[in-house]
Amino acid sequence: MDWVWTHAGAIWALVLEHIGLCVPPIVLGFVISIPIGWWASRNAAVRSVLLTVGNILYTIPGLALVVLIPVILGVPLLNPVNIVVALTIYALAIMVRSAADAFASVPEGVQQSATAQGFSGAQRFLTVELPLAGPVLLAGIRVVSVSTISLATVGSLVGISSLGDLFTDGFQRNFLLEAVVGFVLVLVLAAVFDVLLSTAGRLLMPWTRGARLSSRAARTVAMPLAPAVRR
């Protein structure tokens, strides 16, 4: 274990680099998938085309994508943008489907009710559809987060620094501890991101907690009203 302590600084730097590689694709995947997913939820043809494209994209091997993107974008192979773009594509492949499901999950009655109350289209989208799509969007982004953190290690194969460096280096030097440390850190990082996301979800969507209490709460409140019910 001494190796870990003597290299703590370098390992920490890799953790930060790994985070730096993962955050932009997660955020971009989330933001871009929202308008696309909303569109797909309104139009069955769009939905089926987008989801098929998403599935195909997801089957492209990571390494192939990382090598292809520089050719398409004309950036150097070692530019981290390559990894960010590749990971964003994977994020979208997962997230567009989630977003389409999320917007489809918003009850039709609530949407009609909001329109009938006088919400404009934009107000309805921002203050009704988006928050109500929240729980399914959150489920999607949690999958994206875990998958992105794990996929980012592939960058090490083409020389872009991440926690994956610990695998490649460990295997090349036949130094198992280093690879194991990399493996554990990727897991820990994924877990930390997941906890952060689910906590943010609970804070931003307090009504999802309330629903679970519903039946008991309704009963206790209904009790004092009971005499009024009798005629």
Partner 1 sequence: MSIEFRSVSKTFDDGTTAVEDFSLTIPSHETTVLVGSSGCGKTTLLRMINRMVDPTSGSILIDGQDIAGVPPVGLRRSIGYVMQNSGLLPHRTVVDNVATVPMLTGVPKRKARTDALELLDRVGLDRGLANRYPAQLSGGQQQRVGVARGLAVDPNVLLMDEPFGAVDPIVRDELQRELLRLQRELGKTVVFVTHDIDEAFLLGNQVVILQRGGRIAQAGTPKEILANPADEFVADFIGAKRGKRALHAERVDGDRVLLVDAAGYAAGIVEAPGGRISVDDLALAEAGAGPKSRSVSNKTDQAGDA
Q: Which residue in the block uniquely carries the two structure tokens 């897991």?
A: 187
Residue 205 binding partner 1, by CB under 8 A: yes
Tokens for 75, please give them: 């950036």
| Exposure on the CB side of residue 156, measured as CA atoms within 13 A | 21
Helical ranges in the chain per DSSP H: 2-6, 8-42, 44-59, 62-73, 80-104, 108-117, 121-124, 130-151, 164-172, 176-204, 207-229
Give the CA radius of gyration of the chain. Answer: 23
Quick one: which of 116, 174, 203, 227 contacts partner 1 (CB under 8 A)? Answer: 116
CB 28 within 8 A of CB 91: yes
Quick one: which of 128, 136, 141, 151 contacts partner 1 (CB under 8 A)? Answer: 128
CB 128 within 8 A of CB 119: yes
Which stretch, 12-20, 92-100, 112-120, 169-177, contacts partner 1 (CB under 8 A)? Answer: 112-120
Quick one: which of 76, 109, 203, 227 contacts partner 1 (CB under 8 A)? Answer: 109
Residue 126 binding partner 1, by CB under 8 A: no
Residue 217 binding partner 1, by CB under 8 A: yes
Which residues in 129-188 contact partner 1 (CB under 8 A)? 131-132, 134
Which positions from 33 to 72 touch partner 1 by CB under 8 A, shown as an x/- string? ----------------------------------------
What residue ranges bind partner 1 (CB under 8 A)? Answer: 107, 109-110, 112-120, 123, 128, 131-132, 134, 205, 207, 210-211, 213-214, 217-218, 221-222, 224-225, 228-229, 231
